[in-house]
């Protein structure tokens, strides 16, 4: 795909907007923005599957810290699945985009039915990706939530809400691209927010990638296995003090 120069805003003082080649390229660029977290003890990169996994893999390896998954699912509007009316996470957390629900007059029973379908998909992915491995222990850790971008932000919002219940020391949201207003909104929800580029007009996450093909289950499993070699020095032995 050719680049579209006129879509890019003027470069700011510390950001040079660009197209990312693909999600892994975006992950390498994002890692440069959070290099201050490299080799930190008790830091954990948490990818939002599936699209966030290739991004998070590059971040974790560049920072030499462990990576795992944080499973969430978007609740799509009936007939317009790409438009998020909310999202759910493992453990029962659910966040609704009240503006979308009200404007489209979506009844509770429709929301509940879609949430039940997505819960089944969450369970399927949990089994497929983790096998018998337990979820990561996030209590007292600095957790970096990574996705391939923020549009409405519904899935990231529910991830933050669910993760807060696990009492991490700090939640950092890190994405390659987001609308400026969306990035700003998350600064009231997370302890730190890093958006590598914030183009305006934004339109859609995929617009800022040359290759935005769907990440497959096989790719998620492969990168999760390979990530075991990342962060072996960044994780500290049991008994050391966690971050506070």
In a domain, 73, yes or no: yes
Give the pLDDT confidence score for residue 148 in this predicted structure.
97
Q: How confident is the model over 150-174, as pLDDT tens digits?
A: 988 888 998 998 899 889 999 999 9
CA angle 60, 64, 66 (to 5 degrees): 55
The model carries a pTM of 0.81
- The total number of structural domains that make up the chain: 1
Give the pLDDT confidence score for residue 239 in this predicted structure.
33
Q: Other C-beta atoms within 10 Å of 147: how many?
A: 29
Q: How confident is the model over 16-57, as pLDDT tens digits?
A: 445 899 999 999 999 999 999 999 989 999 999 999 999 999
In a domain, 243, yes or no: no
In a domain, 5, yes or no: no
Give the pLDDT confidence score for residue 231 in this predicted structure.
60
Nearest to 243, CA basis, from 43, 72, 68, 58? 43
Look up tokens 């850790």; give the residue. 141
Give the pLDDT confidence score for residue 130 in this predicted structure.
84
All residue ranges of the chain with pLDDT < 70 are: 1-18, 231-244
Give the pLDDT confidence score for residue 63 in this predicted structure.
96
In a domain, 33, yes or no: yes
Nearest to 150, CA basis, from 87, 220, 221, 93? 87
In a domain, 140, yes or no: yes
Q: Transcribe 63-98 into DSSP letters.
A: HT--EEE--EEEEEETTEEEEEEEEEETTS-EEE-H
Give the pLDDT confidence score for residue 94 in this predicted structure.
87
Nearest to 232, CA basis, from 50, 41, 25? 41
The boundaries of the domain holding residue 196 are 16-227
Give the pLDDT confidence score for residue 97 in this predicted structure.
86
In a domain, 184, yes or no: yes
Nearest to 112, CA basis, from 99, 100, 96? 96
Q: Is 227 in contact with 61 (CB distance < 8 Å)? A: yes
In a domain, 196, yes or no: yes
What CATH number does the domain containing 144 carry?
Answer: 3.40.50.2020
Give the pLDDT confidence score for residue 134 in this predicted structure.
83
In a domain, 107, yes or no: yes
């Amino acid at each position: 795909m050719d680049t579209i120069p006129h879509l890019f805003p003027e470069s700011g003082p510390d950001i040079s907007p660009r197209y990312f080649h693909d999600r892994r390229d975006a992950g390498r660029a994002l890692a440069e923005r959070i290099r201050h977290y490299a080799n930190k003890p008790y830091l954990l990169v948490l990818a939002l599957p599936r699209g966030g996994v290739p991004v998070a893999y590059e971040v974790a390896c560049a920072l030499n810290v462990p990576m795992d998954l944080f499973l969430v699912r978007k609740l799509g509007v009936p007939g317009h699945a790409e438009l998020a009316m909310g999202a759910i996470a493992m453990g029962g957390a659910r966040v609704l985009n009240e503006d979308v629900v009200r404007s489209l007059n979506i009844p509770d029973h429709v929301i509940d039915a879609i949430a039940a379908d997505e819960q089944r998909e969450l369970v399927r992915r949990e089994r497929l990706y983790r096998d018998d491995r337990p979820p990561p222990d996030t209590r007292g850790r600095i957790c970096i939530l990574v996705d391939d971008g923020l549009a409405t932000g519904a899935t990231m919002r529910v991830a933050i809400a669910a993760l807060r219940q696990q009492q991490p020391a700090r939640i950092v949201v890190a994405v390659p691209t987001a609308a400026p207003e969306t990035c700003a909104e998350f600064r009231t929800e997370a302890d730190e927010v890093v958006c590598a580029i914030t183009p305006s007009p934004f339109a859609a996450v995929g617009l800022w990638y040359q290759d935005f093909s769907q990440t497959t289950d096989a790719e998620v499993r492969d990168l999760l296995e390979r990530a075991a070699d990342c962060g072996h020095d960044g994780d500290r032995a049991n008994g050391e003090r966690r971050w506070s």
